[in-house]
Structure 1
Amino acid sequence: MIPVAPAKEPPHFDKRVRKKGLSAIDELVGRKPRLKRPGRRRKKIAAREADIPADAFPPFWRDVLPDMLEAYERRCAYLALYFEHATGSPTIDHVLPKSRVWDQVYEWSNYRLCAALINTKKNDLTSLVDPFEVAEGWFALELVAFQVVRGPKAPPGKAKEIEETLRVLNMPECLKAREEYVTCYERGNIKLSYLERRAPFVASELRRQGRLLKEDS
């Protein structure tokens, strides 16, 4: 896991996501919607916004997934691994879950580009390290089993969040992905520049641990 710089909100986000989402919330709590739309009004399902079930929010955020893929260079914010065009499974993670913070459901600042595997595992946890807040050295890569571990600069005050995050990052599929990148690089099948684009956390850890190939050192 490496630091991720927040991308600027796209100009069309307010129209495509925020306004449509807030109007849908109006309907879900029985208010007159702020926007007109074709079709029947959504059925009231809650007396107040905080009681709307997480799965009842219309997923307008999916409309900006292409923007997020471009803004974040097609890399998962948590794994720092590239999404392939045909076989990748990119999703939008709500860092503050829909089940807990209704007024952030349709906010760009609450979105993280995230692999479906990680998003499912994370679910509605709020105790993970936010990729926008992580600093260099909080996480490291162990190059035998390819697990992410606590880094040399991990702050003691973030111990609980880091441990929770490690449990999410070290699923078997994640270990295998890191192993394949390291193996391909060490065999000379991929260049360092390619590794840095596709798996920058792996590349930075090989560099930090003195494991780069001779020609890249």
Structure 2
Amino acid sequence: MIRVEKQPEPRPPGFDFDNRVRQPGLSALAELTGQSPTVTRPGPRIQQRASRVEDLTHDDLRDYPYWTRALDAMHDAYRGICAYSCFYMEPLCGPTVDHFVALSRTGAPQAYEWDNYRLACSLMNAAKNQFPDVLDPFFIQDGWFTLNLATFQVEAAEGLEEPLKQQVDATITRLGLASRDVSNTHRTWFEAYWRPQVPSQPLPLWFLERRAPFLVREMRRQGRIRPEDAAILR
């Protein structure tokens, strides 16, 4: 993982997050807790499910997933990079909106708030689920997570003090960042860079960074980039 810079809430003319997501979401929360709707919408009145917003669950909000309307805007804002695996996701290949404060963990009040959203592939979103032991990509520091370029497994950086090391290890375990699938994806991109199918047409480092920024950061740190790319950096 690498630090993800939080992007500002999208506004018109690009995407009207407030009117498309927040306001209909807040109105649904109001109705679900027995209050009057705050925006006009077609269809029958939403039945009350709880007396307080804090008591609503993910199942209560399942029929009102207005956050999905923001997915395209999130994909653009975060350049299509999964906040957890750090790989690019094609729009057709499973990008999702992760509620960092999970809806199953008293997160209903933040269900329709941009700041609670992280762009995540479906695999990472499912692994994170409602568990609270995953570090927030918005608040981690670069260098806490490293990549072993022999095994291609994500590891905690050497020298981290407790309890930070424990938190990094817990995040790696919870998300499966050292799993075969994640490691093989790192390996595939690394080998595409170092062993191009057509030797006269090497994979540009800028393209690799667009697809796997954590991998490239670790390749640079460990001196594993081609001399011509290192010369460009200087």
TM-score (norm 2): 0.87
Structure 1 portions without partners, runs of 5+: none
The question of whether the paired residues in 1 share the 8 Å contact of 2:34 and 2:48 is answered with yes
Matched with 1:4 is 4
Task: Summarize the alignment of residues 133-212 of structure 1 with structure 2, pairs less than 5 Å apart.
Answer: 133-152=139-158, 154-167=160-173, 168=175, 169-188=177-196, 189-212=202-225
1:43 to 34, 43, 47: 47
- 1:98-152 per-position Cα deviation (integer Å, ceiling 9, x unaligned): 1222211111000000010000010001221111111111010011221100124
Q: Distance in 1 between matches of 2:127 and 2:75?
A: 21
Matched with 1:79 is 85
Change (3 A) 1:153 1:96: farther
The question of whether the paired residues in 2 share the 8 Å contact of 1:62 and 1:92 is answered with yes
The residue type equivalent to 1:190 in the other structure is: L
The residue type equivalent to 1:201 in the other structure is: F
Q: Distance in 1 between matches of 2:137 and 2:39?
A: 34
Identity of aligned residues (%): 40
Matched with 2:116 is 110
Q: Distance in 2 between matches of 1:164 and 1:152?
A: 15
1:23 to 16, 21, 27: 27
- 1:165-202 per-position Cα deviation (integer Å, ceiling 9, x unaligned): 11112232211211111111111352211111111110
Q: Distance in 1 between matches of 2:47 and 2:114?
A: 26
RMSD: 1.5
The reply on whether 1:132 has 2:138 as its aligned counterpart is yes
Structure 2 portions without partners, runs of 5+: 197-201
- 1:74-105 per-position Cα deviation (integer Å, ceiling 9, x unaligned): 1001111101244x210011111112222111
Q: Distance in 1 between matches of 2:103 and 2:126?
A: 13
TM-score (norm 1): 0.94
The residue type equivalent to 1:194 in the other structure is: F
**Partner secondary structure for residue 156 of structure 1:** coil
Change (3 A) 1:80 1:153: farther
Matched with 1:99 is 104
Which moved further from structure 2: 59-68 or 170-179? Answer: 170-179
The list of structure 1 runs, each at least 4 consecutive aligned residues, that deviate by more than 4 angstroms after superposition, is none
Q: What is the aligned residue count?
A: 216
**Distance apart, 1:59 and its partner CA:** 0.8
